[in-house]
Structure 1
Amino acid sequence: METDCTRDDARVNGIAPLPAGTRLLHIGPHKTGTTSIQGALFAARDRLPAHGVVFPAHTRHPMEAALAACARPAMLGDPVPTDRHWRKLLEQVNATGGRTSVVSSEFFADAEDDATAARIVEQLGGDRVHVLVTLRPLAKIMPSQWQQYVQNGLRMDYGNWLEHMLRKAPYEQPNPSFWRRHRHDRLIERWVRVAGPERVTVVVVDDRDKGGLLRTFEALLGLPENLLQAVPDTANRSLTLAETEMLRNLNKEFRGNELPAELYSRLVRNGAVMHMKNACSPSPEDVKITTPVWALEVAAAIGAGMAERIGGTGVRVIGDLALLSAVPGPQVREATGEPRIAPEVAAQALYGALAAAAAAPVRHTDPAKARTVHQTPSKELVKVLGHRCLKRLRRR
């Protein structure tokens, strides 16, 4: 039997739960604990209905649906999301009836304008929709977001990337999505104009409280404490500096030789990188991506301004907005040692690419060419090899 635990008069840790039947739209943004929440909700999906809550998605993260809803492109080389993905998710949400439901994707933060956000809210249920935004300090987000961009083909090093994002107006190159996602005050104001401040909640994530975000979601949804549990996800771990630099240099070769984007998706991101992350765990000796002091201070100043504007929007805030302007202590500012890739890590990355390629059987059906391999320029050879691999992958 289902029980209705989402009642306005029941508070957990001082947090009033959302009304029963709410359609909670968690829009991220990126690097604010979204994967942790999505993994925990998906793992508990069979137990949620007993408490009047439904997680209406067949996967942990309905990324394609969110990208389609926001009319945003897919990751480099991935299939283009279509409206079919979004309609399918809407059907799953509508099937929840009068129960509380949760839709979570950080890619909803990529909605470019009020019209897009308004359409998403209206299609999900209009007045039943409550928008949830999770926030972390920019100083914590920047290194994670940079290495994520590298995993999508970025070739710029961290120092230059910070210069472009923080010092070179209009701060849109090479990644215009960064400030669309992480100028948090404007992000919240955009969704407030659509849903109204009474239907927007902001949660400031405190990294010192490891289970705090899960407990907050439980309280908002009226769930028993500890029902949501963190699910280990090695595939989502951040890359070390050495791993990121290896991939960044690979990106240079890949782009320089004009190989097909689909090949990058299959062999690099979902082959080499995915296998490396799953097979190798960073050690204490690995050099992490560290942010220079000047960038930390600029990020803190931006965070202070964002916190002030968010506080004036009238939204419900859970957590301490002052955390958005915190500057990390000296112990996390300085890195020691050189970023060197361990041989076993490089081997796992190479194996991941080979395994992805081997998944498409190679059949030697091409007629003999006039030139031998050794007579062919290396750049031309790489391009031909890339296109042949892609052709075989598509054929399969």
Structure 2
Amino acid sequence: METDCTRRHEGVPPLPSGTRLLHIGPHKTGTTSIQGAMFAAKDRLGEHGVLWPATTRHPMEAVLAACARPGMMGDAGPSEKQWLQLVDRVNGAGRAVTSVISSEFFADAPDDATIGRIVAQLGGDSVHVLVTLRPLAKIMPSQWQQYVQNGLRMGYEEWLDHMLRKAPYEKPNPSFWRRHRHDRLVERWVRAVGAERVTVVVVDDRDRDGLMRTFEQLLGLPQGLLQEVPDTANRSLTLAETEMLRNLNKEFRGNGLPDELYSKLVRHGAVMHMKNACSPTPQDVKICTPQWAVEAAAEIGAEMARSIGATGVRVLGDPALLSAVPKPGTETLAEPRIAPEVAAQALYGALAAAAAAPIRNTAPVKSRTVHQTSSRELVKVLGHRCLKRLRRR
């Protein structure tokens, strides 16, 4: 049976010229694919009256500043200037040009006042909000490994237990339900722009190009203009890679090393190089969600679909996908083991980052002899000495 999920959405007219299309994600719903495709095609968009105002694929720092949200662990804080520069490029394009601003971090906007300010700065009545959604059961493993990349030390099943069974479901990641209680996310933005200026797209993973074609329709672009751009730096980690990083996080935090060191050497060094240099193989063990959590996520998905429908927003795609329960996997759960070459690439990435980038603002360390210092404290001392040498360089 053919549905709107498996073909171009018929009868979806382009948005009016001059619309400021605000794609708010949330995370893990195809945002990276859209951002990469739009950025790659930005020089051709102008021929069709469309502007990609960001100077990069993803204006993350600008949006973090707009939402008053801190940067990633150890990164420099975002600047309001970056957001205002993006707003100026949007407003400077004129009323005849449709602008597209896409960032999943808009979903982190903390309150109605922040959302209202963002909408007002981007043009008020010209703003149309686009929300892309996928089933929670497919989002949760991706979000867990992403949190691990930002320092999380909790295992997957324990994390699921906290997110699904331990009210108020705020520990260890309060941002998760802020982003992924999708009905409340839609309601917050409806309060700012009205239901008639919100479109929800339910992404069907079986239709790889479906989201691209939907964006083309909404923007009045020729079919096929937007093409997926491979981005190895954004790939999800395998279970073995995630577990290696999670255990590193435990040692890192347990030894009190500074967050800036984590940002430079681990996230932007070891992890980034490992992602770029190594592709997952069929032998790699995937992050597997237990059946109880899949069923719990489907129940929440059904409730969210009903609530979204009641808001009166336009929904493209099949809302039933949000509550579908996939059949249990038949694969044998092997013990995750990281390949030696993957570990070597991660280590090399950390060493290359250490050699390339000085790290500042580190706390002084008291001098001690080796015999007076425990092995745990030695790691901390050596880490700080490494920072001091990098700073001198």
TM-score normalized with structure 1 length: 0.93
Q: Which stretch shows the higher mean deviation, 76-85 or 242-251? A: 76-85
- Equivalent of 2:155, from 147, 157, 161? 157
Match of 1:377 in 2: 374
Aligned amino acid, residue 347 of structure 1: A
Q: Distance in 2 between matches of 1:227 and 1:315?
A: 27
Aligned amino acid, residue 19 of structure 2: T
Match of 2:210 in 1: 212
CA shift in 2, pair 1:370/1:297, >3 Å:
closer
SS class of match (1:74): coil
C-alpha displacement of 1:93: 1.0
- Equivalent of 1:77, from 74, 78, 90? 74
Match of 2:352 in 1: 355
Q: Which residues in structure 2 correspond to 1:198-237 (within 5 Å)?
A: 198-237=196-235
CA shift in 2, pair 1:361/1:297, >3 Å:
closer
C-alpha displacement of 1:328: 1.5
Post-superposition Cα deviations, 1:81-137, rounded to whole Å, max 9, x if no partner, equal 121111111111112112000000000000111111111000011000000000000
**Which runs of 5 or more residues in structure 2 are unaligned?**
1-7, 360-365
Aligned amino acid, residue 328 of structure 1: P
CA shift in 2, pair 1:85/1:370, >3 Å:
closer
C-alpha displacement of 1:382: 1.6
Contact 1:16 1:219 in 2 (8 A): yes
CA shift in 2, pair 1:326/1:376, >3 Å:
same
Q: Which residues in structure 2 correspond to 1:128-277 (within 5 Å)?
A: 128-277=126-275
Contact 1:201 1:317 in 2 (8 A): yes
Q: Distance in 2 between matches of 1:241 and 1:140?
A: 15
Q: Distance in 2 between matches of 1:272 and 1:340?
A: 17
Match of 2:5 in 1: none
Contact 1:263 1:389 in 2 (8 A): no
Q: Does 1:336 align with 2:333?
A: yes
TM-score normalized with structure 2 length: 0.93
Q: Which stretch shows the higher mean deviation, 316-325 or 335-344? A: 335-344
Contact 2:153 2:250 in 1 (8 A): yes
Q: Does 1:15 align with 2:46?
A: no
Q: Distance in 1 between matches of 2:80 and 2:158?
A: 37
**Aligned-pair identity (%):** 79
C-alpha displacement of 1:381: 2.0
C-alpha displacement of 1:336: 2.4
- Equivalent of 1:24, from 21, 24, 49? 21
Q: Distance in 2 between matches of 1:394 and 1:88?
A: 31
Aligned amino acid, residue 317 of structure 1: V
Q: Distance in 1 between matches of 2:52 and 2:186?
A: 24
CA shift in 2, pair 1:335/1:234, >3 Å:
farther
Match of 2:285 in 1: 287
Q: Does 1:42 align with 2:36?
A: no
Q: Does 1:62 align with 2:59?
A: yes
Aligned amino acid, residue 377 of structure 2: E
Match of 1:386 in 2: 383
Q: Distance in 2 between matches of 1:310 and 1:394?
A: 52
Match of 1:365 in 2: none
RMSD: 1.7
Contact 1:360 1:392 in 2 (8 A): no
Aligned amino acid, residue 274 of structure 2: M
CA shift in 2, pair 1:374/1:36, >3 Å:
farther
Post-superposition Cα deviations, 1:141-192, rounded to whole Å, max 9, x if no partner, equal 0000000000000000000000000000000000000000000000000000
Contact 2:50 2:98 in 1 (8 A): yes
Contact 1:27 1:108 in 2 (8 A): yes
CA shift in 2, pair 1:152/1:39, >3 Å:
same
Aligned amino acid, residue 73 of structure 2: L
SS class of match (1:47): helix
C-alpha displacement of 1:370: 8.0
Q: Which stretch shows the higher mean deviation, 385-394 or 215-224? A: 385-394
Q: Distance in 2 between matches of 1:330 and 1:54?
A: 44
Q: Distance in 2 between matches of 1:229 and 1:272?
A: 29
Q: Distance in 2 between matches of 1:63 and 1:49?
A: 23
Q: Distance in 1 between matches of 2:91 and 2:76?
A: 26
CA shift in 2, pair 1:47/1:12, >3 Å:
farther
Aligned amino acid, residue 170 of structure 2: E
Q: Distance in 2 between matches of 1:75 and 1:304?
A: 32
Contact 1:242 1:340 in 2 (8 A): yes
Q: Distance in 2 between matches of 1:127 and 1:395?
A: 52
**Which runs of 5 or more residues in structure 1 are unaligned?**
1-10, 363-368
CA shift in 2, pair 1:96/1:395, >3 Å:
farther
CA shift in 2, pair 1:191/1:370, >3 Å:
closer
Post-superposition Cα deviations, 1:355-380, rounded to whole Å, max 9, x if no partner, equal 10111479xxxxxx986657643222
- Equivalent of 1:114, from 98, 112, 115? 112
SS class of match (2:294): helix
Contact 1:13 1:219 in 2 (8 A): no
